[in-house]
Chains A and B, each alone.
Chain A
Amino acid sequence: MNRIKKNRLKDQIFKAWGIFCTLLGIVLLAIFIGSILVDGIQRIDWDFITNLPSRKAERAGIYTALMGSVWILVLTTIIALPVGIGAAIYLEEYANKSKLSSLLEINISNLAGVPSIIYGLLGLEIFVRVIQMGSSVLAGSFTLALLILPIVIVSTREALKAVPKSIRDASYALGASKWQTVSRQLLPASSGGILTGIILALSRAVGETAPLIVIGALAYVPFAPSSPMDEFSVLPIQIFNWISRPQHGFEVNAAAGIIILLLITFVMNGIAVYFRNKWQKKFK
């Protein structure tokens, strides 16, 4: 067999393997979603979304958990956004490339890989106990904000890096200050990329369970939170709670809850993809 034929064969084998791997992922996901849909879809109606929790499976709804998740999302965004973007701008545009800043950089990348339960422990100690926020929505939001901060910082820096150097040159050459260049050129030009990163980070936050359990989020809350200091539950905790009950009715509820949670993450990811595509076109 000559070399060309050999290479072609290798190519074919690798292609087949690639197709198999891709299909494996898609098929598994499809089976999972399919079985969840079969179990849960008939349970989803307006009542399911607006009902408070209940001991009777058929009367129980996800309202409090859904509202808890919404509260968490909004507050986490408010906390993580300015801090994350600010840090990224500093590291990317202001900090000189010293040993200290490269140390910071490595640390931030490492933080993105720390298991989320560790953030829960940190949040429990600092926000719940030391600052005495209690097991409130606010404490949960601060904890999740910490958790997604590295992702926000890294993706914002990537987005800033992607703005061509020539844009910075042009702005500085016209007499713009650093802040003018950042605020008038770099942020608008990278907003799509920054937004994508933030949405992906938030879609991770909305699925987080462990750190919120650690800081004391409840599985059963009678009412939706009405202030940042209220106790709360979130969708994944509610789902977990239902699954752990013996009655079959709650299993159906859990499946229905999973559908809602998946829907939220899919929509968020969809929005992220939309912004990314729009943003990529800008510099072509």
Chain B
Amino acid sequence: MSKEKKDTVIDKSIKRKHKLQAKGVKVFYNDFMAIKGIDMNIRANKVTAFIGPSGCGKSTFLRLFDRMNDYVDGFRMEGEILIDGENIYKKKVNVEQLRKQVGMVFQKPNPFPKSIFENVAYGLKIQGIKDKKFLQEKVVASLKQVALWDEVKDDLHKSALALSGGQQQRLCIARALAVEPSIILMDEPTSALDPLSTAKIEELIYELKEKYTIVIVTHNMQQAGRVSDYTAFFYLGELIEYDKSKKLFTNPEKQQTENYITGRFG
């Protein structure tokens, strides 16, 4: 009996360490296999970077964690994706609820064609929250969190589309933070931005990892090295190597990884 108890304790500690897990995951788009069987554990409160040449399945794999592939034509998945030890592809999982727990930031800033305020408040409003004071506080706090507050505080009701690209992307991050997720998925969040905006977002990611588990897809090896604790190298739908970023970038185990990070292909 005491052994059993010990086991569950160990199990829980594993759960806490590994926020996200993939077990034998395969993804198909019709007949095409985009992810060819991946097992992976992603640590809580760390930044994990996905790198690899385009088309290797980084986005597909990332989007599994908030079930954003569900509506894609021809999408089919095998295996399990676990968040805090729970399989999120079980039948009874409420997908909307799941997505409140997992924030997502996209490659191209995609603010709604509405005001700054409405953008950040959207996630809360769709949960049925109407309390004006609460919404206001939450919007302000989220904008402060992404260091956008000082730039927009004069007019929260101006259109979000009037902001610069970098500001829009930070707004999109604020919008995701407002619903208080514990995980943030970012799919090449800086690839459409200038170097200065990119630096601001990287700084932000660094601050956010204290409270959130962050997974970031990036094309930029320097960026992966700068912001991430762990890096995973994907190639043709397979996870080739996954290690501490320092180790992976300085002393990779696999030849393919080395070829990629030294720029010999990709």
- B99–A174 CB distance below 8 A: yes
- B113–A174 CB distance below 8 A: no
Q: Could you tell me how many residues of chain A have their Cβ less than 8 Å away from some Cβ of chain B?
A: 20
Known A-B contacts A175-B126, A176-B126, A180-B126; the reply to A170 vs B96 at CB < 8 A is: no
- Interfacial residues of chain B within 90-123, with CB under 8 A of chain A in the complex: 96-100, 103-104, 106, 108, 110-113, 122-123
Which residues of chain A come closer than 8 Å to B179, judged between CB atoms? Answer: 174-175
Can you show 6 pairs from A to B with CB atoms below 8 A apart? A171-B112, A172-B71, A173-B99, A173-B104, A174-B100, A175-B126
Partner-contacting stretch, out of A51-59, A103-111, A121-129, A161-169? A161-169
| Measured CA separation A44–B251 after assembly (Å) | 90
- B97–A170 CB distance below 8 A: no
| Measured CA separation A185–B111 after assembly (Å) | 11
- Count contacts between A and B, CB distance < 8 Å: 62
Q: Which 8 A-B pairs have the closest CB atoms?
A: A166-B110, A174-B123, A175-B100, A173-B104, A175-B99, A170-B110, A175-B96, A176-B126
* Bitwise interface map of B from 5 to 16 toward A, beta carbon under 8 Å scored 1, else 0: 000000000000
User: Within 8 Å of chain A (Cβ to Cβ): is B216?
Assistant: no
Which residues of chain A come closer than 8 Å to B127, judged between CB atoms? Answer: 175
User: Within 8 Å of chain A (Cβ to Cβ): is B129?
Assistant: no
Contacts from B to A (Cβ < 8 Å): 66, 68, 71, 73, 96-100, 103-104, 106, 108, 110-113, 122-123, 126-127, 172, 175-176, 179
CB distance from A278 to the nearest CB of B (A): 12
| Measured CA separation A90–B223 after assembly (Å) | 43
User: Within 8 Å of chain B (Cβ to Cβ): is A283?
Assistant: yes
| Measured CA separation A174–B100 after assembly (Å) | 6
- A167–B112 CB distance below 8 A: yes
- Interfacial residues of chain A within 47-103, with CB under 8 A of chain B in the complex: 96-97
- B126–A174 CB distance below 8 A: yes
